[in-house]
Amino acid sequence: MTNRMKYCIANFKMNKNRIECKEYIDNLYENIHNDGYYGNGNKIRMIICPPFHSLDACQDKVTTDAGLYFGSQNVSQYENGSYTGEISASMLNHIGSEYVIIGHSERRAHFNESNDTINKKIKISIENCLLPIFCIGETRDQREENLIKKTLTKQLSIGLSGVNNSNFVIAYEPVWAIGTGQTATSEIITATHKMIRNILNDIGFDGKKISILYGGSVNRSNAKELIALSDVDGFLIGGASLDIEHFYEIYKFIEEST
Ligand code: PGA
């Protein structure tokens, strides 16, 4: 048994305006309070990652007893200065973000984020007290060509280069499973999470102490089965998180599993 923290993370991506985000958070907060869920004695964190425009709108609901936290979906690799359109780790921290998604496959694919850039973002986030939710995962071609271990090793070793603490969470998100409805099987997830823990050990971390989440078409129908897997420490949820009832149902499966 380990004491790894469990996570239920909503990634709204580029969805919901400020009013919709606020409504969602207010309802969620009310549900948590009515049901008496308070992070199960600090064993679970529910983290909502809205677009930047809504982080501060949610700030009044950040209370440690509710087990409800906020994260951003991206961060600049730079500290501050002439970088038009960017937002820094310290600015995010200032408006209530305690977590940050880094290395999501959509950022790697659409915004050409390299492993080196991701490494800079991870380091600057940790320095500014943001806990990175570091996304890794192989494409379908890489899986079919048997390049899974090579791909994950590269993403982890470059992404975590120079990081000398364990203040991060890993999200294993096979690219072929994101937004496709093709969830990875329990066998694939179990084998890959074990592989990730071994790679973490090989590059100087203690793999069994680091929370590893699964992401990729998680929904209310598969969450219960997946959270029962001993190496799965929670979920990063895109599409299904946009519907509050759907997301809350998944959260309850995690609560019940602890
Ligand atoms: P999905 O997205 O749940 O819609 O597959 C997951 C993610 O992109 O983090």
HEC string of the chain equals CCCCCEEEEEECCCCCCHHHHHHHHHHHHHHHHHHCCCHHHHCEEEEEECCHHHCHHHHHHCCHHHCEEEEECCCCCCCCCCCCCCCCHHHHHHCCCCEEEECCHHHHHHCCCCHHHHHHHHHHHHHCCCEEEEEECCCHHHHHCCCHHHHHHHHHHHHCCCCCCCCCEEEECCHHHCCCCCCCCHHHHHHHHHHHHHHHHHCCCCHHHCCEEEECCCCCCCHHHHHCCCCCCEEEECHHHHCHHHHHHHHHHHHHHC
Q: Per-residue pLDDT tens for 113-127?
A: 999 999 999 999 999
Active-site residue 104, yes or no? yes
Does residue 193 contact residue 232 with C-beta atoms inside 8 Å?
yes
Q: Per-residue pLDDT tens for 14-60?
A: 999 999 999 999 898 888 888 877 666 678 999 999 999 998 876 66
Nearest CA-CA partner of 168 in 136, 216, 215: 136
240: CA distance to ligand 1 center in Å? 8
Could you tell me if the CB of 237 is within 6 A of ligand 1? yes
Whether the per-residue pLDDT at 63 is higher than 80: the answer is no
Q: What is the pTM of this model?
A: 0.96
Does residue 157 contact residue 107 with C-beta atoms inside 8 Å?
no
User: Could you tell me the two tokens for 12?
Assistant: 């709204």
pLDDT for 40: 61
Chain centroid, CA 68 distance in Å: 14
Could you tell me if the CB of 142 is within 6 A of ligand 1? no
Amino acid at 3: N
Could you tell me if the CB of 179 is within 6 A of ligand 1? yes
Q: Per-residue pLDDT tens for 177-207?
A: 999 999 999 999 999 999 999 999 999 999 9
Side-chain-side CA neighbours of 127 within 13 Å: the count stands at 17
User: Could you tell me the two tokens for 239?
Assistant: 């599409």
Could you tell me if the CB of 217 is within 6 A of ligand 1? yes
**Which member of 113, 173, 193, 255 is catalytic?**
173
CA distance 233 to 211: 6
Backbone angle region of 163, left / alpha / beta, with phi > 0 → left and psi within -120 to 50 → alpha: beta
Per DSSP bridges, beta strands 169-172 and 212-215 are parallel
Q: Per-residue pLDDT tens for 131-161?
A: 999 999 999 999 999 999 999 999 999 999 9
Chain centroid, CA 186 distance in Å: 19
**Which member of 104, 113, 138, 255 is catalytic?**
104
